[in-house]
Amino acid sequence: MGTVLKRMRWIRWDELTHAYGSAADVPGQLSRIAWGDTETAGAALSELSGHIAEFGGFDSTVAAVPFLWELATTHVSPCRAGVVGLLRTVVVHGSCQDESYRAVLAGAAAIEALTVDQDAVVAAAARSLGAVLAGHSCGWCGVGARFAGGS
């Protein structure tokens, strides 16, 4: 497994849930995103998106987000732009009061570097995520102001 996703084994995934029940399958999905070929990684990313992001924030979403940031910022996955897109989906389907939304914000310092990534598709996905965060204006959390200038 190397150093990427190494901390994943310390999460008790079987005690967490996603849209379809137990999140015990999330480590396998993250691993396929990291080390699968393009088709395998893309299928795992699509499956993971349906499990943790599209129907709201779950405890497994909160646990998975740091690993998604890790996959977005390292060059192991063949679908890094899709990973950034999944982070964007978590933000779009959440609110700044959700733990999963705040988990995305915790790694958001990486957005600036990703916007100038040598992979143009990754850079575009990062700009889109930054724009969503910049467009947020709930009046009390300051997220939009934080991102309005840079991404």
Indicate whether 147 belongs to any domain.
no
Indicate whether 149 belongs to any domain.
no
- Domain of residue 17 covers 6-136
Three-state secondary-structure class, residue 99 = helix
Number of compact structural domains in the chain: 1
Indicate whether 145 belongs to any domain.
no
Indicate whether 88 belongs to any domain.
yes
pLDDT in tens, 81-101: 999 999 999 998 877 778 888
pLDDT in tens, 33-72: 999 999 999 999 999 999 998 766 799 999 999 999 999 9
Indicate whether 36 belongs to any domain.
yes
Indicate whether 50 belongs to any domain.
yes
Indicate whether 125 belongs to any domain.
yes
- Reported as half-sphere exposure (CB side, CA atoms, 13 A), residue 83 has a value of 29
Indicate whether 151 belongs to any domain.
no
pLDDT > 70? residue 27: yes
CA separation (Å) from 86 to 10, 15, 71, 149? 23, 23, 11, 23
